[in-house]
Chain A
Amino acid sequence: MIDRLRFKLSKHFGAKNVLDDFALEVHGGEFVTFLGPSGCGKSTALNLLAGLLQPTAGEIWLDDERLDPLPPERRGFGMVFQNYALFPHLSVFDNVAFGLDVRRVARASIAERVRRMLALVKLEGLEARYPAQLSGGQQQRVAIARALVIEPRVLLLDEPLSNLDAKLRLDMRAEIKRLHQGLGLTSIYVTHDQAEALSLSDRIVVMREGRVMQVGAPADIHDRPRNLFVADFVGYRNVLTLMVTARGVDGLVTAEGSGLRVRGRAEIGPGGAVLAAVRPEDVRLSDDAGAVGGARGMVRLVEYQGREYDVEVVLDSGAVLKARVPAAPKIGDAVGLALEPGRVVLLTPEHVA
Chain B
Amino acid sequence: MRRGGLVVLVLPSVLYLVVMFVYPFGYGVFLSLHPAKGASGASLANYLGFFGDPWQLRTIAVTASIAVPNTIVTVLLALAVAYAMRRGIWAERAITTLLVLPIALGTVLVAEGINGFYGPKGWLNQLLQLAGVADLPRLTHNYTGVMIALFVQHFPFCFLMLLGYISGIDPALESSARVLGARPWVVFRRVMWPLIAPGAAIAFALVFVMNFGVFPSAVLVGQPAGATRTIAIAAYQQAFEHYDMSMASAIAVVMGLCQLLGLAVVVALRGRLAATGVATVGAGKR
Q: State the A residues within 8 Å of B (CB).
A: 51-54, 71-72
Judged by a CB distance under 8 angstroms, whether B281 is at the interface is no
Closest to A51 in B: B1
CA distance A296 to B1 in the complex (A): 61
Q: How far is the CA of A52 from the CA of B2 in the complex (A)?
A: 9
Bound complex: CA A113 to CA B195 (Å): 56
Query: Given the complex of chains A and B, what is the CA–CA distance between A71 and B3 in angstroms?
Result: 12
Number of interface residues of B (CB under 8 A): 3
**B3: nearest residue on chain A (CB-CB)?**
A54
CB distance from A72 to the nearest CB of B (A): 7
Total cross-chain contacts (CB, 8 A): 8
When distances are taken between beta carbons in the complex, the residues of chain A under 8 Å from B1 are: 51-54, 71-72
What's the nearest-Cβ distance from chain A to residue B137, in Å? 58
Q: Is the interface of B mostly helix, strand, loop or mixed?
A: loop
C-alpha spacing A54/B3, complex, angstroms: 9
- Spell out B's residues near A (CB within 8 Å): 1-3
Closest chain B residue to A71, Cβ basis: B1
Please, could you name 8 A-B residue pairs with CB atoms under 8 Å apart, sorted by A?
Answer: A51-B1, A52-B1, A53-B1, A54-B1, A54-B2, A54-B3, A71-B1, A72-B1
Q: How many Å lie between the Cα of A218 and that of B1 in the bound state? A: 34
Among all A-B residue pairs, the 5 with the closest Cβ atoms: A52-B1, A54-B2, A71-B1, A54-B1, A72-B1
In the complex the two chains form, what is the Cα distance from A71 to B2 in whole Å?
Answer: 9
Q: Which residues of B contact A52 (CB under 8 A)?
A: 1
| Shortest Cβ gap from A107 to chain B (Å) | 30
Q: Which residues of A contact B2 (CB under 8 A)?
A: 54
Q: Please, which residues of chain A bring their CB within 8 A of the CB of B3?
A: 54
What separation, in Å, do the CA atoms of A71 and B1 have in the docked complex? Answer: 7
Could you list 4 further interchain pairs (A-B, Cβ under 8 angstroms) beyond the known A53-B1, A54-B1, A72-B1? A51-B1, A52-B1, A54-B3, A71-B1
CA distance A70 to B2 in the complex (A): 11
* A51-B2 Cα distance, complex, nearest whole Å: 10
Question: With a CB–CB cut-off of 8 A, which chain B residues contact A72?
Answer: 1
Question: Which residue in chain A gives the minimum CB-CB distance to B2?
Answer: A54
B105 to chain A, nearest CB (A): 35
Q: In the bound complex, what is the Cα–Cα distance between A46 and B2 (angstroms)?
A: 17
